Amino acid sequence: MKQFLISAFILLVASIGILAANDKWEGTSVEFSHGRLKVSENKRFLIFEDGTPFFYLGDTGWELFHRLNKDDAEKYLENRRSKGFTVIQAVALAELDGLNTPNAEGNRPLINNDPLKPNEAYFSHVDWVIKKAEEKGIFIGLLPTWGDKVDKQWGVGPARHNWYDVLDLPGASQLIHARRLMESKPFVSRIPDQSMIAPDYFPETDYVVATRGNGYAFVYFPTGWAATIILSKINAEMSNASWFNPRTGEFTFIEKIKGDTSKKFTPPSSGRGNDLILVLDDASVKQINKISK
């Protein structure tokens, strides 16, 4: 029996991983037709010129321009597009000995390490990668250089890792669910609001946090620690409560609750790796808690 349970658990974990890997973003990650980015009027979000909200889901590919050739860069960017990433953070003068170690095409960024003499061949490759990202609807958050290129006391930059070893870790595939959840509700009205949570003791590693917008609220339970939620903050006569699993993107309806009360919510699972999001919706507004893909 013990062996059977272990085998069943392994199959369950594997099946969740397969489902996450198969849940891909369709089309370009961002539609640039909405215009340039700007700060929203409430100074809390980035939005496009036409008012469309922008969700900053970033990946740090610092060595993108330095270590990857065009084929590898294409594979990396396509992987991140399919997972719903909207921004790749990369640095022009690479992390580890980026001035003296050539890029994947054999070019160094500066001629004789002179900042006034950029190597056109090196930066042509940078341009190619940025244009390829644009084709896939991905912004490049471009950092010019690290402090070590200016002041040697900063060493030779952050440590490097094999990018292909971490490309498909579970978290990378699961973040698409967070993006879809955030984009499924009125975006720019959302504010952080810890006053929704009744005063209580929470260990630092189990801290419950809340945010709310017009007609809804999200409460994040990182490890299953229970919390009492003040529902009147949503300003609804009745609220629908559901658990959202950020690892699978699935909703589980809990109940409909009077909006002028407080209620203690205890997640159905606990411990690290069992985080859940409590989703509270104004019951008078027709909302379908099934995120479109």
Residue 85 lies in a domain: yes
Could you tell me the two tokens for 233? 């903050």
Residue 12 lies in a domain: no
C-alpha 59: how far from chain center: 8
Statement to judge: residues 121 and 100 lie in one domain: yes
Statement to judge: residues 64 and 151 lie in one domain: yes
Residue 4 lies in a domain: no
Residue 266's alpha-carbon distances to 25, 151, 262, 270, 275, in angstroms, are 32, 51, 13, 9, 12
* CATH number, position 251: 2.60.40
Residue 16 lies in a domain: no
Q: How many helices (H) and strands (E) does the chain have?
A: 6, 14
Q: How far apart are CA 79 and CA 173, in angstroms?
A: 10
Tell me which of 178, 208, 240 is where a domain ends: 178
Q: How far apart are CA 125 and CA 127, in angstroms?
A: 5
**Predicted pLDDT at 110:** 96
Residue 121 lies in a domain: yes
**Predicted pLDDT at 119:** 98
**Predicted pLDDT at 23:** 87
**Predicted pLDDT at 163:** 72
Tell me which of 178, 199, 215 is where a domain ends: 178
Containing domain of residue 208, as a range? 184-282
Statement to judge: residues 243 and 123 lie in one domain: no
Statement to judge: residues 159 and 189 lie in one domain: no
| 159 secondary structure, DSSP code | P
Residue 201 lies in a domain: yes
Q: Whole-prediction pTM value?
A: 0.85
Statement to judge: residues 99 and 195 lie in one domain: no
Tell me the residue type at 2.
K
Could you tell me the two tokens for 113? 């390490």
* CATH number, position 97: 3.20.20.80
DSSP string for 130-142: HHHHHHTT-EEEE
Residue 291 lies in a domain: no
Split into its structural domains, the chain has a count of: 2
Q: Are 277 and 206 in contact (CB under 8 A)?
A: no
Statement to judge: residues 128 and 208 lie in one domain: no
Q: Show pLDDT as tens, one digit a residue, over the chain (293 residues).
A: 434 333 333 333 444 444 455 689 999 999 999 999 999 999 999 999 999 999 999 999 999 999 999 999 999 999 999 999 999 999 999 887 889 999 999 999 999 999 999 999 999 999 999 999 999 999 999 999 987 787 766 666 555 567 778 889 999 999 999 999 999 999 999 999 999 999 888 888 899 999 999 999 999 999 999 999 999 999 999 999 999 999 999 999 999 999 999 999 999 999 999 999 999 999 998 765 656 55
Statement to judge: residues 152 and 193 lie in one domain: no
Statement to judge: residues 68 and 42 lie in one domain: yes
Residue 128 lies in a domain: yes
Residue for token pair 């903050």: 233
Tell me which of 125, 152, 178 is where a domain ends: 178
Q: Are 243 and 276 in contact (CB under 8 A)?
A: yes
